[in-house]
Structure 1
């Protein structure tokens, strides 16, 4: 009987090749997309899943002294030590910082920069890394020793054991070094250990070394007792007067390791801690489930259609003595084979999509993670549900219906309610995803517009001192056609030091704002693409004022009284921040020469920072940061020119640069990741909907072949028959549009509320969502409908 059932199932598939292929392929795509997102969500929500200390580790943060309501993760180096000594709840501490690396030198070979993290010898008390070679404690106990990650060791030393080898780390200058500084520009490290990387790691590093005696601060983790109360402990140490960056006004905050993984700390760059976005994971998981719903809708709709075509065979089997159990077995076998083949195909699809998915979502999952004990039960459960539920439903229905009753149920007055509901749901999902994609991409365009001043802007700041320096290098680049402009500056634009502005409110309270200051030559504004909204040009300002300074619009909004013109006024009239106690403080002599457009250096979820831009050509000899604007059409050649001039001016020195636009967009990764995710799933949803429409249109035309022939014989035109066939699809889209539009509107507006600079949900995007789905439906359904409507009625009636 089992062999006969298998033969009948395969014959059924062969007779209905189109339905079978569409069912399997659409289900495979749905399962692959769902498994990818579910694996990603499980990966992110179970960071350090195999770490036995995970639940005992808390992350320290404190109130920001630079902006009211913000939290920073920087903790002074002495605070964790003090907490361990004074409070029994704290069992241990672990502090981290980083070393900026320009390049790695081994013998006579130079390699690209690596991520170097410094930490305490208590590292192994918090995180479990398998030591492949050497001794981890030894690597962290001396300032001239280090441990490498396995991937970094392979990159630098191949497959050989690197323990005992020496690497020379060329330190990044950062644009802050002056002629009389004596800090060494490179440091040798002896490799003392190699650590094996593991999935779901909280930390990211290439090289790990010990904190030195001059450790001032960074991020801090505490290992606490099981009874530790995060909120209560924060109140306790505040009452005890534990110092904060805000003195007595500030307080500490504590997060679990998992919560800190999703926490976004503004105005900080912490490269050695992995971060994720909980909102992106939730939206991604919802998108995956919606895609699975579309795939299952196709599967159910087409299964109904295929089973209907087999009704005569099924009833013939019953007449030949087949029992209901045998019929159920055949249906279950059909379903399990369909889902099983779709599942195997989904594994191949997921394997090929993982690199693309990781790039789009900034993920770290691998194919092997699908077999992890965290993911495998879900995948098996999903396959089981997809196999059992449809088979149970169809077997119960078929057992209670005759051939005529089944036709009446599926094609009679009930108008195929199940098929209609599933089809409308598909359209709702597709329209909603398209509206979401268009809106999020509009927000992404706004982000790109705010960062347009950084496009093709290259930052170079790793100088080794001596000659040639930044001035010589800048002179070599000027007047090259592929170089739009060159300017020298006193520091980095995106990695600038922040200072505090204190504003007294009307109720007597104080508000804090982060202020940023830049200094450079008179062509700094031109290179950064800043517009002068009010005031004089840089050239005129240099002639008119001894110490000219531009303020940005945000600075003016916060500090300049309404209706007052600040141009020509000393900046000290508005900015009460004390830069020093000397009477000859240069701040006091600076004159506002104009207001420029805002310069965004962080995410658009925040307002632009109030900024001061000082112009000073006389200080150019100390400017060690170089900004080069490349011509758009000659960007590649421009980079080659910079590299060529660098190698000529700095023989033997490794050349590195920062693409400022890329860094800015990376800081706005939440928008880009969300846009890429929804675009990917919108395309997939439309593709799956097309699969379903193709099968449904084929079935609808086949079932109405006789009706179409009779109508044509009685004088019906091709146009009227065509409209008759596609009318139900248009009705479904109209119903779906009415439901999807308000849902998308509400959800997207809630998401956009988190942005200080945001777009609105345009009615045009909603209309486009409906039009796109309608156009795709007409193209997909129209082809089948036109063939049926324009065919020879005599042939169709004869076949009937």
Structure 2
């Protein structure tokens, strides 16, 4: 029986090749898109799950409101780890990390810049799953100046992994003994460090300041512990330990501190949620966003629904062509259940063919998708192990769902009515079919509007006045390696033709740099007269090099000796300070983490606000002090021959630091990298929207073909009576265009609301423009009309004598 169903199904499908090709292609495109999205979502949801104890690992966070500023941090105070371990028996183990920044690592006579370095407690191997290839995890980081490296670093510097006991030299001076080599950290991790340096090397790790947060702290809870109940104890715990220091510094307790509208709150986040749910100051890596997982999952479902809708539409549209077949079968004694089984078999075969093509298409498109998404997705045995059963279930479910209505509809024909020709024909009257067309195009229009809004927001970000000029600014890396020679290098570069200006500083606006501190209006700290701010060291050329604007006062000057205690504040800081005239006003900054001593500064200028964080966030207070630092070096260039200019700068670099790599980039490239995830999301959404439209058009193309076929006689009569081609095209198109118009009316307000919610995530954003909705509607009508017109024109050009003779 089953063999007969399959044989009959193949005959029917081969007899209607056009129908079969459209359905198979539509399902294949839909399933291939779904597979790619499933790979993406699976990858996003798998972050940090490689840790064997991931269900019990949590990061300690700080939420602080003080000095007119509110911040959420991924770091906590240095002494908190030991205190938590002592006070809470629920904690099995705890580990701290502290960023080290980039260093020059010696390899032969060459120094190589390495950025992925971190200080870590020895307990890191008890909390995280970092399998060790050589060395002992129990002793690897217990001694000062010891280091654990990944296998790729071991291969890079020694061409082998058995390197325990070897020594690495940083910045030509500091030497670290290798005590362990671990496997490379998986891509699905929220941190990707290559060098783990013993925490005991860092003097700051023994700091006792509770009001300064610099350490990423993770706890491993004992099995069965409710982290929310533990979290509820943190308020009293923090106040007990930090309270004495708060009273010593600000001369008030936490009750009065909070009465002033301030707070310090400690909380936990599960490690498995960090990648998708956390976007705090001092994150290790740029994290993902759970909203995009939801968006892509919805797109996958929508596209699959569109493909299924095509199947149902085309199957019911050709019902009149198979009505006589059904009538004859019923007259010959075929039961309805056998007819249903026959039609479901056809549906499942089409789905199977589409799934096979989809698998190969997804495999072929995976490298392109990786390039678009910035992922490193690969087909692994683990993926295959769940993909094959999942595909089998999908084929059965989609085959049955997509074929259920056609099977029930066709098998329910009355054989007498069918054989007497009383069955209603034509496109009109197919209410479900009309609903499904509206559904398809509503989704397509929704995606078109979303794509336009995302594109315009990204364009807005690219063109927004940031408060500084990022064009034609060259940044040179590894500048810290020059030490005292950095100023010499700067002066040499400034003499090169084509260089307008150059600057040494702690940071650049495109960096995710955090150097927060609290400044006070008075020499005696007072929470009501405090400013929580970023505190950056720059030189006198920084503002000019970056094209910033002084709106009050003046820039720093090396000719003014008093500028060694000068400050330049931004507009946001001036607003919080609320001085009637901030110029020459004094501010006091702590010289240590315990705020025992305050240094007096005076304000010499106010700078126009510029964006030094993501445009998702408002500009917060920032204060410049005159201290060039050795973190960043930028050059404003004005030359048509950039390669020649770079060669001259590289020559100067080689003269100052012959054994160090010359590394450079441009500031606008760094800015673009801040929004690379949004740009990638925009590209992917455009691609998926295009696929959704193509799939919808495939279905509409098929429907138009069958609508024209069912009205062959009417078209022939109209042509004999004098109807021209445009009249016939309009007649065949108006029903479909009307359905698209209904889809526009439904999709537009829904898309407007959804994209408005997405834009709320940006502090700086464009409003949704009316023309974006109008353009999406016009595009949908145009696409639908072009799709329908092909079949309509073909029908209108048919010889009427031939069409009437066929009747």
Alpha-carbon deviation of 1:131?
Answer: 3.9
Task: List aligned pairs for 1:602-751, cutoff 5 A.
Answer: 602-613=613-624, 625-630=632-637, 639=646, 642-657=649-664, 659-668=666-675, 671-751=678-758
Alpha-carbon deviation of 1:639?
Answer: 5.0
What is the CA deviation profile of residues 89-136 of structure 1, one whole-angstrom value per residue up to 9, with x for unaligned ones? 112112223332345443356656352333233233323344445544
CA distance in 2, matches of 1:270, 1:405: 70
Which residue number corresponds to residue 32 of structure 1? 32
Which residue number corresponds to residue 502 of structure 2? 486
CA distance in 1, matches of 2:780, 2:348: 32
What is the CA deviation profile of residues 661-683 of structure 1, one whole-angstrom value per residue up to 9, with x for unaligned ones? 44444444564354334323222
Which residue number corresponds to residue 125 of structure 1? 126
Which residue number corresponds to residue 479 of structure 2? 462
CA distance in 2, matches of 1:696, 1:638: 62
Task: List aligned pairs for 1:423-442, cutoff 5 A.
Answer: 423-442=437-456
* Residues 1:353 and 2:348 are matched in the alignment: no
CA distance in 2, matches of 1:383, 1:470: 68
CA distance in 2, matches of 1:758, 1:447: 8
What is the CA deviation profile of residues 560-610 of structure 1, one whole-angstrom value per residue up to 9, with x for unaligned ones? 46xx565xx3142xx57667999995623x422xx5432111112221122
CA distance in 2, matches of 1:699, 1:370: 44
**Residues 120, 197 of structure 2: 8 Å contact kept:** yes
Question: Given the superposition, is the C-alpha separation of residues 54 and 714 from structure 1 closer, same or farther in structure 2, using an over 3 Å criterion?
Answer: same
CA distance in 2, matches of 1:485, 1:780: 58
CA distance in 1, matches of 2:155, 2:613: 35
Alpha-carbon deviation of 1:9?
Answer: 2.9
Question: Given the superposition, is the C-alpha separation of residues 397 and 88 from structure 1 closer, same or farther in structure 2, using an over 3 Å criterion?
Answer: same
Which residue number corresponds to residue 298 of structure 1? 310
**Partner residue of 2:182 out of 177, 188, 194:** 194
Which residue number corresponds to residue 180 of structure 1? none
Task: Tell me which moved more, 17-26 or 460-469.
Answer: 460-469
Task: List aligned pairs for 1:417-428, cutoff 5 A.
Answer: 417-428=431-442
**Residues 360, 677 of structure 1: 8 Å contact kept:** yes
Task: List aligned pairs for 1:39-188, cutoff 5 A.
Answer: 39-49=39-49, 51-64=51-64, 68-108=69-109, 113=114, 115-153=116-154, 160-164=160-164, 166=166, 168=168, 170=170, 185-188=173-176
Alpha-carbon deviation of 1:769?
Answer: 1.0
CA distance in 1, matches of 2:465, 2:668: 10
CA distance in 1, matches of 2:501, 2:422: 76
**Partner residue of 1:525 out of 537, 543, 556:** 543
CA distance in 2, matches of 1:653, 1:424: 64
Question: Given the superposition, is the C-alpha separation of residues 110 and 84 from structure 1 closer, same or farther in structure 2, using an over 3 Å criterion?
Answer: same
Task: List aligned pairs for 1:262-281, cutoff 5 A.
Answer: 262-271=276-285, 275-281=287-293
**Residues 85, 91 of structure 2: 8 Å contact kept:** yes
Question: Given the superposition, is the C-alpha separation of residues 165 and 352 from structure 1 closer, same or farther in structure 2, using an over 3 Å criterion?
Answer: farther
Question: Given the superposition, is the C-alpha separation of residues 519 and 50 from structure 1 closer, same or farther in structure 2, using an over 3 Å criterion?
Answer: closer
Number of aligned residue pairs: 766
Structure 2: unaligned runs, 5 residues or longer: 206-213, 247-253, 255-262
What is the CA deviation profile of residues 522-573 of structure 1, one whole-angstrom value per residue up to 9, with x for unaligned ones? 54334323245x357759x888996476543333443346xx565xx3142x
**Residues 140, 146 of structure 2: 8 Å contact kept:** yes
What is the CA deviation profile of residues 267-306 of structure 1, one whole-angstrom value per residue up to 9, with x for unaligned ones? 32424xx732111211221122112121221222223345
Alpha-carbon deviation of 1:401?
Answer: 0.9
**Residues 327, 418 of structure 2: 8 Å contact kept:** no
Alpha-carbon deviation of 1:340?
Answer: 1.5
* Residues 1:776 and 2:783 are matched in the alignment: yes
Alpha-carbon deviation of 1:77?
Answer: 3.0
Question: Given the superposition, is the C-alpha separation of residues 198 and 466 from structure 1 closer, same or farther in structure 2, using an over 3 Å criterion?
Answer: closer
**Residues 39, 369 of structure 1: 8 Å contact kept:** no
CA distance in 2, matches of 1:114, 1:34: 37
Which residue number corresponds to residue 271 of structure 2? 257
Task: Tell me which moved more, 120-129 or 75-84.
Answer: 120-129
What is the CA deviation profile of residues 431-455 of structure 1, one whole-angstrom value per residue up to 9, with x for unaligned ones? 1112112222222223222557334
Which residue number corresponds to residue 181 of structure 1? none
What is the CA deviation profile of residues 321-355 of structure 1, one whole-angstrom value per residue up to 9, with x for unaligned ones? 65555544432332222112211222222223334
Question: Given the superposition, is the C-alpha separation of residues 700 and 677 from structure 1 closer, same or farther in structure 2, using an over 3 Å criterion?
Answer: same
Task: Tell me which moved more, 740-749 or 299-308.
Answer: 299-308
Matched residue of 1:608: which SS? Answer: coil
Superposed CA RMSD in Å reads: 3.8
Question: Given the superposition, is the C-alpha separation of residues 661 and 500 from structure 1 closer, same or farther in structure 2, using an over 3 Å criterion?
Answer: farther
**Residues 139, 193 of structure 1: 8 Å contact kept:** no
Task: Tell me which moved more, 439-448 or 489-498.
Answer: 489-498
**Residues 99, 118 of structure 1: 8 Å contact kept:** yes
* Residues 1:334 and 2:346 are matched in the alignment: yes
CA distance in 2, matches of 1:395, 1:170: 73
Which residue number corresponds to residue 210 of structure 2? none
Task: Tell me which moved more, 287-296 or 255-264.
Answer: 255-264
Matched residue of 1:63: which SS? Answer: strand
CA distance in 2, matches of 1:48, 1:293: 32
CA distance in 1, matches of 2:705, 2:644: 55
* Residues 1:762 and 2:769 are matched in the alignment: yes
**Residues 477, 645 of structure 1: 8 Å contact kept:** no
CA distance in 1, matches of 2:530, 2:310: 56
**Residues 588, 601 of structure 2: 8 Å contact kept:** no
**Residues 306, 695 of structure 2: 8 Å contact kept:** yes
What is the CA deviation profile of residues 11-49 of structure 1, one whole-angstrom value per residue up to 9, with x for unaligned ones? 333333232222112212211222332343344334444
CA distance in 2, matches of 1:111, 1:687: 49
Matched residue of 1:251: which SS? Answer: strand
Task: List aligned pairs for 1:357-396, cutoff 5 A.
Answer: 357-368=369-380, 371=383, 378-396=390-408
Alpha-carbon deviation of 1:633?
Answer: 6.7
Structure 1: unaligned runs, 5 residues or longer: 172-183
Matched residue of 1:453: which SS? Answer: coil
Alpha-carbon deviation of 1:2?
Answer: 4.8
CA distance in 1, matches of 2:242, 2:668: 34
Question: Given the superposition, is the C-alpha separation of residues 596 and 129 from structure 1 closer, same or farther in structure 2, using an over 3 Å criterion?
Answer: closer
**Residues 591, 599 of structure 2: 8 Å contact kept:** yes
CA distance in 1, matches of 2:638, 2:37: 40
TM-score by length of 1: 0.84
